[in-house]
Every structure is written in C-alpha cells, then in structure tokens.
C-alpha cells in the first residue's frame, strides 16, 4: 500500500488518502471471513487504488461487502452488484447482467 515512508508518522497526521490506505491495510491484515469496505479508494492515488484492487481480488476464503459510487470499481471487484436508490435496492445481478439489462 506504499505506506513504508510513513512508518514513524502518527495516523492522525496522515493525509486523507493515506489514512484510507492504512485503514484498508489494517482491515485486510488478518484475513477476516467478512470484510465491509465503505468507499475504500476515496482520496487514494491511482497507483495505490490499483494495488488495493489487486489485494481485494486475491483474498481467499473471505467475503467482501463494498460500497462505492464508482461503477468501474464495482465492475472490477464484484461478483454481484446491488444498486440502491433512496435506501432501496432497485436492481441486483452480475456486472454483465446489469450492463446488458440497463446499459
């Protein structure tokens, strides 16, 4: 996650993007059975974003629930996608299904 240079910096003194990367790294460190990631790449630089994508994709024996506003992120990381409007799920399916059904 490219955090080595911040090894001796307190988390409260990190930038928003680096706090996000640290939070994701700490969450995924123990390989829990379920991960809940809320907008994990918000404020994160593109290189670290791809790095985080690869990390999430290669998790074994772990379920990931991801919230995002970025459809490219959902398509890249998710097997199933639920789209919510005003707190209600309005469509659900695989990325391919949603693209075919809704464009």
How far apart (Å, rounded) are the C-alpha atoms in residues 76 and 44?
16
Helix axes 16-29, 46-57, angle to 10 degrees: 10
Residue 32: which of 6, 49, 56, 2 has the closest Cα? 56
Please report which confidence band the pLDDT of residue 26 belongs to, taking 50, 70 and 90 as the band edges: confident
Question: Which is more confidently placed, 41 or 13?
Answer: 13
In this structure, the strands spanning 88-93 and 81-85 are antiparallel
pLDDT of 55 reads 84
Residues of the chain above pLDDT 90, percent: 43
Place of tokens 């990367």: 21
What SS3 state is found at 60? Answer: coil
Mean confidence (pLDDT) of the chain: 89
In this structure, the strands spanning 88-93 and 63-67 are unpaired
pLDDT of 53 reads 86
pLDDT of 89 above 90: yes
pLDDT of 62 reads 87
pLDDT of 59 reads 81
**pTM of the prediction?**
0.76
User: Is 77:56 a contact under the CB 8 Å cutoff?
Assistant: yes
User: Which range among 26-30, 49-53, 94-98 shows the weakest confidence by mean pLDDT?
Assistant: 26-30
How far apart (Å, rounded) are the C-alpha atoms in residues 19 and 54?
19
Tokens of 72: 């490219």
């Amino acid at each position: 996650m490219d955090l080595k240079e911040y090894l001796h910096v307190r988390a409260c003194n990190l930038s928003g993007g680096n706090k996000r990367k640290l939070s994701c790294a700490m969450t995924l460190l123990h390989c829990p059975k379920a991960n809940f990631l809320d907008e994990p790449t918000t404020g994160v630089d593109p290189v670290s974003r791809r790095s985080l994508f690869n990390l999430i994709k290669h998790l074994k024996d772990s379920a990931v629930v991801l919230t995002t506003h970025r459809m490219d992120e959902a398509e890249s990381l998710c097997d199933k996608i639920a789209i919510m409007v005003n707190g209600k799920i309005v469509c659900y399916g695989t990325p391919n299904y949603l693209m075919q059904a809704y464009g």
